[in-house]
Structure 1
Amino acid sequence: MRVTGDQALVKKLNKSIVLDTIRRNGPLSRTDVSERTGLNKATVSNLTLELLEQKLVEETGLGASSGGRKPLMLLFNGAAGCAIGIELGVTLVKAALTDLKGGILLERSAPLGRHDPDTAFAVILEAVRPLLEEAPDTPHGVVGIGIGVPGMVDESGTILYAPNLGWEGVDLGARLEKEFGVPVVVDNEANAGAAGEREYGAGRHVRHLVYVSAGMGIGSGMIIDGQLYKGAWGYAGETGHMSIESDGRLCSCGSRGCWELYASERAYAYAPAAGGSAEGSGDADVRARDAASPSSLPALTTPELAEYARQGDAATLEMYREIGRRLGIGVTNLVNGFNPEKIVVGGPLTEAKEWIEPAMLATIAERALPYHRRELAVSFSELGSRSALLGAAHLAVSQFLGRVRVSL
C-alpha cells in the first residue's frame, strides 16, 4: 500500500527543514534557504514568517546584494527558550541550564551518596530546581529536560539496566515529567555525549564518529553516516562491558575482564596507592586489589589523583600510563570494528589527559589495522566533562524543535 502524507504533515516537515537549515547555517537569506533546501521561494517565505512570529528565527540585517535589493538575513534565535541537561553519574549528578544553541547559562551539581532510585531522584531535584527557579523569561520558557544515564534505556525512557547503579526497570523519565511538567528525554550518557560532541565539540561535521565516555565506567556513542546508532533494540554502545581479559576481574555486570575495570576510574581501586611506589607493591597487595568487590569505588577522585601526577608521583604516573594503554586496546577494537573517521574520548577521565594520551595513542598506532588508522583522527573532547551534559540538553532542544532527519 502506498502511504502519502497530508498537507499538515508536509508543512510540518518543510518547516522543520527550514528551521534546521537556518539553525545550522545562518545567517542566510530566504533565497539561500530556498537553494539549500530545494523548496520554492514562496514556501520558504511563508514558513519563515511563521518562524519569525514564533520568535525561533530573527532578522539580523541586510546581506550582500547579487544585483538587486539587499536581502534580509535570517538567524536562529537561541534565546527563544531554555533547556536543562542532566548527567546522572555514579557519584555525582550534574545539571545545566542552556539556551537553544547550547550556551550554558547556569550549572549545578550534587553528590550522589547512595544509588537507590529514590535517593537519586531526590538528588536530581536538588540540582534541577534552582535552575528552573533562575531560568530567564523567554518566549518559550524551559522547553524540556534531557538526561544521560549510565545504562541501557528503551525508547520510552525506562532505564532497563544500569549495572554501576544497580538499577533495572526504572522509569525515571515519566517520574521527572510528572514532577516538572515538561517533556523529558532519557538516553544513555555516552549517546548524549556523542550528540554533544557532534553538535558543539570535536565531532562537528563528522559523519562517522565514535565517542568514548570514560568516567566511573565506559560507554560509547556511535554516529554512523550522520545518524546515532542504537542497534536493533536501542542498546548499542555498552562497550565498557566488552572483555579485554578472558579471565580478568569480576565486573558488576556479572562478566569478567570488562574494559571499564582497566581503563576507567574503576581502575583506581586496583592501582597502587597514590604517594606510594609502583615498584614497592607486593604480590599480596596485588592479589587483594584484584579480588576487590566489583562494586568498589576508588578512594580518590580524578582531580585528586591528577594533583599527585602533577607532583610527579611515580605510582600515579604508572597507573595513568597503564590506563592509557588499556584505553588504547579498547579503542583499537572500536577502530577495527567500525572504521570511524574520528574517535573522541570524553568524560571525567579527560582531566588526566596529559598522562593518559601518550600511552593510548602509542597503543592504537601499534595495534590498529593500517588502513583503518590511515585517515583516523583521535582526540580528547573539546567539551571536557560536559559532553553528556550539553548533549542531553541538545536532545531536549531537538525534541522541542521537532527536528526530522531528512537527506536533502
Structure 2
Amino acid sequence: MALRGTNQEFGRPYNRRIVLESIRLHGPVARGDISSRVGLTVQTVSTIVRELEEQGYILSVREEPKGRGLPPTTLRINPEGGYAVGIHITPLGINAALINLSGDVIESMHREAPNATPDHAFELIGAMVRELTGLRPGGRVLGIGMALPGPFGVESMSFVGPTTMAGWKDVALRERLTASTGLPAFFETDMAAAAMGERLYGLGAQHSEYYYLYFGVGLGGVMVHEGSVLRGAWGNAGEIGHIPAVPNGELCPCGNRGCLERYLSLEALGRWGGNEADWVREISPIFHNAVAVIENLFDPETIILGGLASNDLLERLAGSTVSLPNSVSARRDRVTPRVIVASGGQHAVLRGAAALAVSGVLSPRFGQMFAAERERGRDLARSGGMAA
C-alpha cells in the first residue's frame, strides 16, 4: 500500500505515522526521499523528523565525506526507541518475547500450559510481561500483540478441537489482554502473524507474492500479496487445514471428514507416533496435492513453509517436493523453488505479533485507532504508548 500524507483535519498525527513508517520501511533514507515517497513538503517532513528525533523514535546519521561537500543526513529507526511484546498461545503452552523497533528479540520465554483456560492463560501472560518489560526499566513499551489459532467467529470451527484453543469461545481477547498487562492490545491468527514476521524479518522480504504455509498444531496458511496478508471478508482466509482432502477420511472436529490437518499437522504427527521420516513419506502424496491446489489458486512466487514444526521436519517436507504435480507454478523460468523453508524461525509468530502492536500504535494503516484517538483527544504516537 502506498504511504501518502494528508492535509485533512487531524492530519498531523497521521502524517507523523506516515513519515515514521516510511523510515522504518526504507531507512536509512534522506528527508528529500521521504518527501517524494509520501507526498509531503520537505519542510513538513523536516518538522516531523525533528519531533520524532526528540521523542527518540529515529536516529539521524551522516556518513563520512568521500569528496567535496557534506553527504546528506540519513534517517533510520532507533532500535531502542520503543519495544513491544509478542505473545503466542497454543494448545501446548504460551510463548512471549520482548522485541525492539528493529525486530530484534531482546528476550523470549515459554510456559508449559497445555489447554490453558483463559483465566490461567491471562494470569501467566501478565506475569511474563512484567518479567520481560522489567529487562528494560523505563523503556517505552508501545503495546502487546497476541497470536492464537483461528478461525474466529465460526461456530463449527472456532475454539473447537485439539488444534485450537478449546474453551475460549466468546472471550473478550483484547479487553482481557489489556486488563492483564496494562498495554494497548491487538490480536491476530497465528498463521497471519507468522506470515507478517516472515515478511518483515525473513525470506518473505525478498518476495512480494508468496504463500506462507503455517505448520503448527493444526495447519493454516495465508497469501501475502504486495507485502500485505490477504484476510478475507471476515479475516479468516487461510484455513487450508479444513479443506476436505481425503474422501470419507478421518472425522474432523469441524464436522467434516478427511480435512487436510487431520493428516498434515503436528497433531497428526503426534497421533502417528512413529518415525518422522516414515511419516513424511506416508503423507507426501497428500502434501504434494495441497501444494498444487495452493499454486493453482494463488499463483505465488513460492510457498514458504514455517510455523511451530522443527526446522528438520520442515526441511524433510520441502525435500519431498523434488517431484510435484503440475500446476501453474511448474514454469521453466522459475528462479525460486516451488517450496522453501522459512528463515524467520519459530520467533516469526512472536515478531509478527509484536509488529502488530507497533503498527497498531504507530502506523497509519489502523484507522480504527485514529477514530478512537479523536474521541480520547490524544495521540499515542506522541505520548509514546504506555510504559510498563
| Distance in 2 of aligned mates of 1:340 and 1:349 | 22
2:264 is equivalent to residue 255 of structure 1: no
On the 8 A contact 2:149/2:190 being kept in 1, the answer is: yes
CA shift, 1:143, in A, is 0.7
CA-to-partner distance for each residue in 1:280-307, whole Å, 9 max, x for gaps?
A: xxxxxxxxxxxxxxxxxxxxxxxxxxxx
CA shift, 1:199, in A, is 0.6
2:366 is equivalent to residue 402 of structure 1: no
2:288 to 325, 328, 335: 328
On the 8 A contact 1:350/1:381 being kept in 2, the answer is: no
Aligned partner of 1:402: which letter?
S
The 1:74–1:243 alpha-carbon spacing in structure 2 relative to 1, beyond 3 Å, is same
2:158 is equivalent to residue 161 of structure 1: yes
| Distance in 2 of aligned mates of 1:207 and 1:97 | 27
| Distance in 2 of aligned mates of 1:220 and 1:250 | 21
Describe the SS at the equivalent of 2:134: helix
> What's 2:147 paired with?
148
| Distance in 1 of aligned mates of 2:35 and 2:105 | 32
1:341 to 275, 280, 301: 301
CA-to-partner distance for each residue in 1:175-223, whole Å, 9 max, x for gaps?
A: 0101211111111000101110111111004222211110210111222
Unmatched 5+ residue regions in structure 1?
155-159, 275-314
Tell me the TM-score normalised to structure 2 length. 0.83
Aligned partner of 2:292: which letter?
T
| Distance in 2 of aligned mates of 1:246 and 1:58 | 58
CA shift, 1:6, in A, is 6.0
Describe the SS at the equivalent of 1:187: strand
CA-to-partner distance for each residue in 1:357-380, whole Å, 9 max, x for gaps?
A: 222x235x3243355785464211
2:342 is equivalent to residue 369 of structure 1: no
The 1:29–1:66 alpha-carbon spacing in structure 2 relative to 1, beyond 3 Å, is farther
| Distance in 2 of aligned mates of 1:205 and 1:37 | 23
On the 8 A contact 2:93/2:116 being kept in 1, the answer is: no
Tell me the TM-score normalised to structure 1 length. 0.79
| Distance in 2 of aligned mates of 1:235 and 1:316 | 30
The 1:120–1:179 alpha-carbon spacing in structure 2 relative to 1, beyond 3 Å, is closer
CA-to-partner distance for each residue in 1:104-145, whole Å, 9 max, x for gaps?
A: 00111011223432233233334333113323433xx11100
The 1:49–1:316 alpha-carbon spacing in structure 2 relative to 1, beyond 3 Å, is closer
2:279 is equivalent to residue 319 of structure 1: yes
Out of 252-261 and 5-14, give the one that drifted further: 5-14
Out of 14-23 and 73-82, give the one that drifted further: 14-23
> What's 1:292 paired with?
none
> What's 2:345 paired with?
384
Aligned length: 353
> What's 2:136 paired with?
135
CA shift, 1:333, in A, is 1.2
CA shift, 1:335, in A, is 1.1
CA shift, 1:66, in A, is 9.3
> What's 1:192 paired with?
193
CA shift, 1:73, in A, is 2.1
Which residues in structure 2 correspond to 1:55-66 (within 5 Å)? 55-62=56-63
Describe the SS at the equivalent of 2:53: helix
CA shift, 1:43, in A, is 1.6
On the 8 A contact 2:62/2:71 being kept in 1, the answer is: no
| Distance in 2 of aligned mates of 1:354 and 1:152 | 27
| Distance in 2 of aligned mates of 1:265 and 1:372 | 31
Specify the structure having the higher radius of gyration (Cα): 1
| Distance in 1 of aligned mates of 2:152 and 2:349 | 15
Identity of aligned residues (%): 33
Which residues in structure 2 correspond to 1:215-294 (within 5 Å)? 215-271=216-272, 273-274=273-274
Unmatched 5+ residue regions in structure 2?
1-5, 368-388
> What's 1:95 paired with?
96
> What's 2:105 paired with?
104
| Distance in 2 of aligned mates of 1:324 and 1:148 | 29
Aligned partner of 1:165: which letter?
M
Describe the SS at the equivalent of 1:204: helix
Describe the SS at the equivalent of 1:231: coil
On the 8 A contact 2:87/2:144 being kept in 1, the answer is: yes
> What's 1:310 paired with?
none
| Distance in 1 of aligned mates of 2:68 and 2:136 | 45
| Distance in 2 of aligned mates of 1:219 and 1:12 | 36
Describe the SS at the equivalent of 1:349: coil
CA-to-partner distance for each residue in 1:78-100, whole Å, 9 max, x for gaps?
A: 21111100111110211000101
Aligned partner of 1:144: which letter?
G
The 1:233–1:68 alpha-carbon spacing in structure 2 relative to 1, beyond 3 Å, is same
| Distance in 1 of aligned mates of 2:206 and 2:220 | 22
CA shift, 1:262, in A, is 0.8
Which residues in structure 2 correspond to 1:59-74 (within 5 Å)? 59-62=60-63, 68-74=69-75
| Distance in 1 of aligned mates of 2:341 and 2:329 | 21
CA shift, 1:67, in A, is 6.8
The 1:183–1:73 alpha-carbon spacing in structure 2 relative to 1, beyond 3 Å, is same
